């Protein structure tokens, strides 16, 4: 485990259903969780990554920060969805510095937005050995391109400013997920692993191998789909539907109808996920994806993990974002951590960043 001496940071995951905040500090004996909390927000405050009601978000962030008694004000947050593009691209072989100069030119054709309105980052992938490559291919190299619209980054930065905090890192959900996975699970150079976060309004798929993302995709669906369907089916409001979905106030008939809704969602989600797995498996060095690691609140719908395992033929497990984190059990309840573990994956990935990280 690599420990960073850089300045600490508070992770802030602004989900469409729940805002999460956590602090992880580096100590001599490893990472230590010093605080974590989450708070619900109304379903229309943040829609498809677009901030609709900044006041509610600012208020929620402020009260979480206050309640958790954090001292550090530096924040690492993340964005995802339509305004972020993560792509593996192929460019002429050049040094990192040269690519930094040329990346806008190289990236332009891959980005569905005006190149002048995006923030760009990249990582050069380790190239296969020379002798195994055709001469023509040797002139080129693979690069992971990350582009995010400036206006969306600015919106998040402004939000954090308004909460009287300091925006230090703006990450991408998929990379935060990869970070929490890398920290908590033993490293296997060869195995490809699918990290899948199912939240309220999006499914985030990130396939990693050798410590790098080789594929990411966001699909605009999630637990909200179930809540809305439950509300429609039973003629109740969103809040009641949310309660019912979590198993409150159920009689036998309702349970059967609810199960049908779960099954419909699970089928659609697993199809979406499997499509991504199949797409990547085709081009995978070393063959197949060795496991699927689920996170996000909606990955908890009853039977989903088992269903996904059957459909994909790959072992499926829920992530434990706290596996290698110590904490003071007088201050943080172990049962609470267990209950929120899947929802906490991204915020812990963010809390593990340090000021100065990209």
Ligand X SMILES: Nc1ncnc2c1ncn2[C@@H]1O[C@H](COP(=O)(O)OP(=O)(O)OP(=O)(O)O)[C@@H](O)[C@H]1O
The span from the CA of 184 to the CA of 130, in Å, is 34
> According to CB under 6 A, which residues from 236 to 295 bind ligand X?
242, 245-246
For ligand X, the closer CB: 27 or 267: 267
Of residues 12, 17, 153, 183, which one binds ligand X by CB under 6 A?
A: 17
- In the bound complex, what is the minimum distance in angstroms from residue 289's beta carbon to ligand X? 22
Decide: helix, strand or coil at residue 292: strand
Min CB(219)–ligand X separation in Å: 10
DSSP H stretches of helix in the chain: 54-67, 96-107, 135-138, 150-162, 173-184, 223-234, 238-245, 252-281, 304-312, 334-340, 345-351
321 belongs to the binding site for ligand X (CB under 6 A): no
Establish if 202 lies at the interface with ligand X (CB under 6 A). yes
Q: How far is CA 118 from CA 109, 145, 311, 358, in A?
A: 13, 12, 38, 16
**Does residue 201 touch ligand X according to CB under 6 A?**
yes
11 binds ligand X (CB under 6 A): no
Report the C-alpha gap between 52 and 187 in whole angstroms.
40
| CA–CA separation, 245 and 231 (whole Å) | 10
DSSP 56: H
Q: Which of 37, 222, 321, 349 binds ligand X (CB under 6 A)?
A: 222
> Regarding beta strands 30-40 and 18-27, do their DSSP bridges make them parallel or antiparallel, or are they unpaired?
antiparallel
Contacts of 186 (CB under 8 A, 6+ apart): none
Among 81, 167, 199, 321, binds Mg ion (CB under 5 A): 199
For residue 298, the partner it binds in Mg ion, ligand X, none, with Cβ less than 5 to 8 A by kind, is ligand X
Residue 349 as a binder of ligand X (CB under 6 A): the answer is no
Binding partner at 171 among ligand X, Mg ion, none, C-beta below 5 to 8 Å by kind: none
CB-CB contact of 327 with 29 (8 Å): no
**Under the criterion CB under 5 A, does residue 15 sit at the interface with Mg ion?**
yes
One of 167, 296, 321, 349 touching ligand X (CB under 6 A): 296
Shortest spacing between CB 223 and ligand X, in angstroms = 3
For 245, residues 6+ apart whose C-beta sits below 8 A from its C-beta are: 223, 226, 227, 230, 258
Residue 88 CA, chain-centre distance (Å), reads 18
Per CB under 6 A, 168 contacts ligand X: no
Which listed option, ligand X, Mg ion, none, makes contact with residue 16 (CB within 5 to 8 Å by class)?
Answer: ligand X
Question: Which helix (H) or strand (E) covers residue 222, if one does?
Answer: none
Contact status: 184 vs ligand X (CB under 6 A): no
Selection from Mg ion, ligand X, none that 1 binds (CB < 5 to 8 A by kind) is none
Number of amino acids touching Mg ion (CB under 5 A)? 2
- As measured in angstroms, the least distance from the Cβ of 300 to ligand X is 4
Binding region for Mg ion (CB under 5 A): 15, 199
Binding region for ligand X (CB under 6 A): 15-18, 199-202, 222-224, 227, 242, 245-246, 296-298, 300-301, 343
């Amino acid at each position: 485990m690599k420990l960073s001496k850089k300045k600490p940071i508070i992770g802030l995951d602004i989900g469409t259903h729940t805002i999460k905040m956590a602090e992880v500090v580096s100590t001599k004996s490893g990472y230590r969780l010093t605080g974590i909390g989450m708070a619900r927000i109304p379903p229309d405050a943040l829609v498809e990554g677009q901030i609709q009601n900044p006041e509610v978000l600012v208020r929620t962030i402020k009260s979480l920060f206050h309640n958790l008694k954090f001292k550090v004000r530096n924040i690492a947050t993340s964005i995802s969805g339509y305004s972020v593009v993560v792509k593996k691209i192929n460019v002429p072989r050049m040094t990192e510095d040269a690519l930094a100069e040329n990346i806008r030119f190289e990236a332009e054709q891959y980005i569905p937005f005006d190149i002048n309105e995006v923030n760009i980052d990249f990582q050069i992938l380790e190239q296969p050995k020379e002798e195994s490559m055709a001469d023509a291919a040797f002139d080129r190299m693979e690069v992971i391109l990350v582009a995010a619209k400036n206006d969306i980054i600015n919106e998040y930065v402004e939000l954090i400013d308004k909460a009287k905090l300091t925006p230090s890192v703006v990450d991408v959900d998929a990379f935060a997920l990869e970070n929490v996975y890398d920290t908590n699970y033993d490293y296997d150079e060869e195995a490809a692993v699918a990290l899948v976060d199912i939240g309220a309004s999006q499914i985030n798929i990130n396939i990693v191998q050798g410590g790098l993302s080789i594929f990411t995709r966001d699909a605009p669906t999630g637990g909200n789909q179930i809540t809305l369907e439950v509300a429609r089916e039973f003629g109740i409001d969103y809040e009641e539907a949310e309660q019912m979905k979590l198993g409150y106030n159920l009689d036998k008939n309702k349970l059967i109808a609810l199960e049908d809704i779960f099954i419909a969602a699970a089928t659609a989600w697993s199809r979406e996920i499997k499509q991504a797995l199949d797409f990547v498996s085709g081009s995978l060095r070393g063959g197949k994806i060795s496991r699927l690691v689920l996170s996000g609140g909606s990955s908890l719908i009853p039977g989903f993990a088992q269903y996904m395992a059957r459909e994909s033929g790959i072992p499926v497990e829920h992530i434990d974002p706290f596996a290698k984190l110590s904490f003071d059990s007088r201050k943080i309840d172990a049962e609470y951590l267990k209950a929120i573990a899947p929802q906490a994956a991204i915020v812990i990935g963010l809390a593990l960043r340090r000021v100065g990280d990209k």
